[in-house]
Amino acid sequence: MTVQASARAVTARSAIMRAAERLYATEGFAGVSIRQIGEAAGQRNKSAVQYHFTSRDELVKAILAEHAEAMEVHRLAMMSRLGEPGAMSPRDRIRCVVLPHIEHHIDLGVPSWYGRFLAQVVVEPALREYAVSVHLERPSLRRLYDATREPGEPDPGRTARREAMTRVLIVHMCAELERDLAAGDTTAVGRDLAAGDATAASAATAWRRLGDDLVTAVCGLLGALRSDPR
């Protein structure tokens, strides 16, 4: 491939990924064909999506990988500031789990599509296992979760459940705020955001507030489950 052809391929791949996440976020997997994605991405060749990605699932995995990389940059930066997971406060560990999602959404701007896209991927039977294992269980995340496990905790079922609850809250609450912001709905983002005032700054405020609420909620949830005598 020449340098120009290679650059064109990168541009086409990127246009297809952006069109796919936007269309899937707003129309659902069942409402969008591979051909519609190619058209929305400005590809004249009807087989462009198959050419660049082979299948819907490979396209989805490429989108997930790109976002996971971007989020990982935020997480590793936070972790290098805060030190080893074992030496962090429980709240700081949860911050490192939750806030990279928030910072990534702030980077994406308004409207974004990734939150609603991810919420659909994690319940899609053909994709959820990939999404959970590769995207949401990065090594950095595993170190954080492992550090929250206490020595006398033998029940693997309950450990898995706590992590699943944390993941479910992050993924689906981010999707809900993204939807509200895209729709210009400000009731769910807090009373100090006046209607129509979804500027980048107030969107960032709404995201950070969600991040704080998620950190507080997850800490409360984990503490309650831990002290439950069961």
By CB under 8 A, name the binding residues for its own copies. 25-31, 116, 119-120, 123-126, 154-158, 160-161, 164-165, 168-169, 172-173, 175-176, 187-191, 209-210, 212-213, 216-225, 228, 230
Judged by beta carbon, residue 84 or residue 155, the one nearer its own copies is 155
For residue 5, the minimal CB distance to its own copies (Å) is 32
Judged by beta carbon, residue 79 or residue 211, the one nearer its own copies is 211
For residue 228, the minimal CB distance to its own copies (Å) is 5
Judged by beta carbon, residue 10 or residue 183, the one nearer its own copies is 183
Q: Distance (Å, rounded) from C-alpha 174 to C-alpha 70? A: 16
For residue 19, the minimal CB distance to its own copies (Å) is 16
User: Which of 29, 104, 19 has the alpha carbon at shortest distance from 70?
Assistant: 104
Q: Distance (Å, rounded) from C-alpha 88 to C-alpha 90? A: 6
Q: How many C-beta atoms lie closer than 10 Å to residue 168's C-beta?
A: 12
Judged by beta carbon, residue 151 or residue 157, the one nearer its own copies is 157
Helix (H, G, I), strand (E, B) or coil at 88: coil
For residue 97, the minimal CB distance to its own copies (Å) is 15
Whether the CB-CB separation of 42 and 15 falls below 8 Å is answered with: yes
Q: Distance (Å, rounded) from C-alpha 23 to C-alpha 33? A: 9
